[in-house]
């Protein structure tokens, strides 16, 4: 059963992402790094809008590159494990403009295209033996616990290896990635001034003692030559004076406000976005902060005001649903979630949130609709095993215990519970008709789990 968090101070709460208690604290340890990952429909879509023209300019199908949001307030971004881009929340908040974020994405894409990860394969294989790589790649599955009692997906992992050791690039590789990134920016018709401005931020970081430097400056060495190269490009590029439209500036302001609203202490949020600030992003941040207190008497009027102004914004409806859901007003939350899904039907996160609320009511009349939403969510978003666990619950309520076991098996497989996966798959095989789709899927899950156990 999904319950309200006993303590909001010790867990991440992000609108739109199905939250679970962190498996480990997300803070650096003397012997290495620990990481946690967040899911949020709005922020993920914003980053996708930023990244898509860059990925296309580099010759990729944007859908082939997975983007992960790392819950860390330090400046960092990196690529790892193939076509995987990681962006720290600290970088997204620190960036004043969308062009700065896009510049970083262009540079990191240059590392992918340049094959700069090839020399790290051996290091990653060694890292995987210690469990670090499994945690990073587990972000693709958004590892959940059995005790889901909150609202957004958080996964945490630890390692005895430092990110700087694994991900540090040479100066030559940095210069190569810069040139590739600048070419992608030009191809996409986007100014490189954002990348230059981000380098200015890094240059300030170089003056700090190593312990206080952002991880990005330690893994991506900055040189005067690199800065001069970007400056020369800006002087000659026909796109240097071209600013992205106001809709991009609004997306950046909203993303920063949302991350601050959920991740910063409430008092700091109120200082950053005082009552005198009536901008959209300020009201958004305050609505989130009041919800976290929790003080719905002040949070709901703020989000309702935003909805009145922007009735077709799915993320405002989603936040309203989360506010109500997290405060035990489950039935009241469902219309808001339905509205969010109606406005953004191809988002698996939103469909999973709606289905979770439907199942949480315990009303049998909601079960079939919840299952349909979850089946669609599973097809839309393969990185969210919560939909699998909820499908097991939904089919169980319909007394279809074969399908319930089939989805329990897949959930266990995707979250690394290999023995449970085999046991649930065997149960599904016993209960489902021979030749049925569900039984064939259960057989495949069992085979995959057995192969993992043997490896």
Confidence of residue 382 (pLDDT cuts 50, 70, 90): confident
Q: How far is Cα 103 from Cα 186, in angstroms, rounded to an integer?
A: 11
In percent, the amount of the chain with pLDDT more than 90 equals: 66
**In angstroms, how far is the first alpha carbon of the chain from the final one?**
35
Tokens of residue 421, six digits: 């996966």
- Statement: residue 213 has pLDDT above 70: no
Tokens of residue 309, six digits: 């102004």
Architecture of the domain made up of 8-236: 2-Layer Sandwich (3.30)
Q: How far is Cα 1 from Cα 146, in angstroms, rounded to an integer?
A: 10
Residue range 330-360, pLDDT digits in tens: 999 999 999 999 999 999 999 999 999 999 9
The residues facing 189 across adjacent strands are none
Q: Alpha carbon 419 to chain centroid distance? A: 28
Rounded to 10 degrees, the C-alpha dihedral 296/299/300/305 comes to 170
Residue range 356-367, pLDDT digits in tens: 999 999 999 999
Q: How far is Cα 230 from Cα 110, in angstroms, rounded to an integer?
A: 14
pLDDT at residue number 173: 80
Confidence of residue 239 (pLDDT cuts 50, 70, 90): very high
Confidence of residue 301 (pLDDT cuts 50, 70, 90): very high
pLDDT at residue number 221: 64
DSSP 8: G
Does the CA dihedral 387-1-11-163 come out positive or negative?
negative
Task: Indicate the helix (H) or strand (E) that contains 86.
Answer: strand 84-88
Q: How far is Cα 86 from Cα 99, in angstroms, rounded to an integer?
A: 17
- Statement: residue 90 has pLDDT above 90: yes
Mean pLDDT of the chain: 82
Report phi then psi at 69, rounded to 5.
Answer: -100, 115
Q: Are 320 and 303 in contact (CB under 8 A)?
A: yes
Confidence of residue 114 (pLDDT cuts 50, 70, 90): confident
Q: How far is Cα 204 from Cα 23, in angstroms, rounded to an integer?
A: 34
pLDDT at residue number 126: 53
- Statement: residue 276 has pLDDT above 50: yes
Residue range 56-78, pLDDT digits in tens: 999 999 999 999 999 999 888 98
In degrees, to the nearest 5, what angle opens at C-alpha 340 toward C-alphas 337 and 341? 90
Average pLDDT over residues 140-145: 36
Tokens of residue 240, six digits: 């240097």
In the β-sheet with 77-79, what is the strand arrangement from edge to edge? 77-79, 84-88, 66-70, 34-38, 155-158
For the entire predicted model, the pTM comes to: 0.82
Q: How far is Cα 260 from Cα 273, in angstroms, rounded to an integer?
A: 10
- Statement: residue 387 has pLDDT above 70: yes
The top-scoring range by mean pLDDT among 11-20, 169-178, 299-308 is: 299-308
- Statement: residue 172 has pLDDT above 80: no
Buried b (16+ CB within 10 A) or exposed e, 184-199: bbbbbebbbbbbbbbb
Confidence of residue 115 (pLDDT cuts 50, 70, 90): low
Task: Indicate the helix (H) or strand (E) that contains 267.
Answer: helix 266-272
pLDDT at residue number 149: 33
| Helix and strand element counts for the chain (H, E) | 22, 5
Among candidate residues 97, 64, 71, 63, the one with its CA nearest the CA of residue 17: 71
């Amino acid at each position: 059963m999904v319950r309200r968090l006993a303590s909001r101070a010790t867990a991440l709460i992000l609108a739109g992402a199905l939250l679970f208690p962190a498996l480990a604290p997300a803070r650096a340890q003397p012997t290495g790094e620990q990481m946690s990952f967040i899911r949020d429909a709005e922020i993920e879509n914003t980053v996708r809008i930023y990244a898509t023209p860059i990925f296309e300019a580099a010759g990729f199908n944007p859908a082939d590159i997975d983007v992960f949001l790392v819950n860390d307030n330090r400046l960092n971004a990196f690529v790892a494990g193939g076509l995987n881009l990681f962006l720290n929340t600290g970088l997204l908040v620190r960036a004043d403009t969308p062009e700065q974020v896009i510049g970083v994405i262009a540079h990191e894409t240059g590392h992918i295209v340049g094959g700069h990860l090839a020399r790290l394969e051996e290091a990653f294989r060694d890292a995987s033996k210690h469990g670090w790589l499994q945690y990073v790649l587990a972000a693709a599955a958004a590892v959940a616990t059995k005790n889901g009692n909150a609202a957004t997906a958080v996964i945490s992992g630890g390692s005895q290896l430092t990110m700087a050791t694994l991900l540090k690039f040479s100066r030559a590789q940095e210069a190569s990635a810069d040139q590739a990134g600048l070419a992608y920016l030009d191809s996409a018709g986007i100014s490189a001034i954002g990348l230059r401005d981000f380098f200015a931020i890094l240059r300030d970081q170089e003056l700090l003692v190593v312990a206080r430097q952002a991880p990005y400056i330690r893994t991506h060495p900055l040189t005067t030559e690199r800065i001069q190269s970007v400056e020369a490009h800006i002087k000659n590029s026909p796109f240097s004076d071209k600013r992205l439209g106001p809709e991009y500036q609004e997306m950046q302001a909203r993303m920063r406000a949302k991350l601050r609203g959920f991740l910063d202490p409430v008092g700091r949020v109120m200082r950053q976005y005082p009552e005198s600030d009536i901008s959209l992003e300020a009201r958004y941040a305050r609505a989130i902060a009041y919800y976290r207190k929790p003080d719905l008497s002040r949070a709901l009027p703020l989000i309702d005001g935003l909805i009145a102004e922007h009735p077709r914004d799915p993320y405002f409806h989603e936040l309203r649903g989360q506010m109500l859901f997290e405060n035990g007003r489950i039935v009241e939350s469902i219309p808001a979630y339905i509205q969010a899904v109606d406005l953004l039907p191809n988002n698996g996160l939103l469909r999973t949130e709606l289905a979770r609320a439907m199942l949480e009511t315990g009303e049998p009349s909601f079960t079939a609709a919840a299952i349909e939403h979850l089946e669609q969510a599973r097809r839309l978003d393969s990185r969210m095993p919560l939909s699998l666990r909820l499908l097991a619950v939904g089919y169980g309520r319909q007394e279809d215990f074969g399908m319930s076991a089939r989805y329990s098996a897949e959930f266990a497989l995707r979250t690394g519970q290999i023995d449970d996966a085999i046991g649930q798959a065997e149960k599904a095989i016993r209960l489902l008709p021979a030749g049925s789709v569900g039984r064939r899927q259960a057989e495949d899950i069992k085979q995959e789990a057995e192969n993992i156990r043997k490896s």
